[in-house]
Amino acid sequence: MRVCALIPAFNEAAYIVEVVRGAGRHVQEVVLIDDGSSDNTAEMGQAAGATCIRSATNSGKASALRLGIAYALDRDFTHALFFDGDGQHAAEDIPSLLEAGRESGADLVIGSRSFDRDRMPRARYYSNTVGSKLASWLVGREIKDSQCGFRLVRLEALRHLKLRGTKYELEMEILIKIARAGGSIVHVPVRTVYDHGQSRSKMKPVRDTVRICLWSLAFRFLGM
């Protein structure tokens, strides 16, 4: 396995050095995709050891990840590790995802968070549980955490997929399209770091959950 960590980030100067260094301990290359940040996220990430791809405008998480996927596909990597730039994911869990990918040969390894209502912000709890139930129904198998951005993808499973997502629907799009192609999916328990009980994520739970659900139906039933 040769693994490239893809870190999409928008104005994450407060966390990006720790994130890049944490991922860099476990993979062959860390690629920071700076999504039009107005702070010094890109400069700090590059100084911490990341290869930096910069977007002139803020186009959304999925657009940033698609730039990173294109970069990884053009090089000799076998897998891409998706790792958020806001410090919510624990780098100590990366070896568990890599081990699961190596031992199972799975096309997609999804980090599975513990949906603890006492620790997870209420809106995030419901958006994630609704999304996971929808994903399980759409692909005909249990999906424990459809929206976790912490995942390992076998790049050959992505090579021939036409990805359309530009916002937070990309995680579901990849999941649905890999499942429809007969790909294998496994889950690995991971931790999530919350800041004083509040999520650092820029996701708007209600608006983005509705968008994800609508796009998921289109990916599954309209072949988009």
Hey, which residues does 29 pair with through a beta bridge?
A: 4
What is the domain range of residue 190?
Answer: 3-221
51-55 vs 151-154, strand pairing mode: unpaired
Asked whether 138 and 216 are in contact (CB, 8 A), the reply is: yes
The three-state secondary structure class of 187 is strand
C-alpha–C-alpha distance, residues 183 and 42, integer Å: 34
| Residue count (the chain) | 224
Residue 33's closest CA among 2, 59, 14?
A: 59
List, for residues 151-201, the tens digit of each pLDDT value: 999 999 999 999 988 777 888 899 999 998 999 999 999 987 766 334 455
Task: Please list, in sequence order, all residues whose beta carbon lies within 8 angstroms of the beta carbon of residue 158, skipping any fewer than 6 positions away.
Answer: 69, 73, 80, 174
pTM of the model: 0.86
Mean pLDDT of the chain: 87
The total number of structural domains in the chain stands at 1
Dihedral (Cα; 125, 84, 164, 184), 10-degree rounding: -80
pLDDT tens digits, 60-103: 999 999 999 999 999 999 999 999 999 999 999 999 999 999 99
In sequence order, the β-bridge partners of residue 54 are 34
The CA R_g of the chain, rounded to the nearest whole Å, is: 16
- In DSSP terms, which residues pair with 52 in a beta bridge? 32
Q: Which CATH number belongs to the domain containing residue 196 in this structure?
A: 3.90.550.10
pLDDT in tens, 107-146: 999 998 766 655 665 656 656 677 777 877 888 887 888 7
Which pLDDT belongs to residue 138? 80
Q: What is the pLDDT of residues 190-217, one digit of tens each?
A: 987 766 334 455 666 566 777 777 777 8
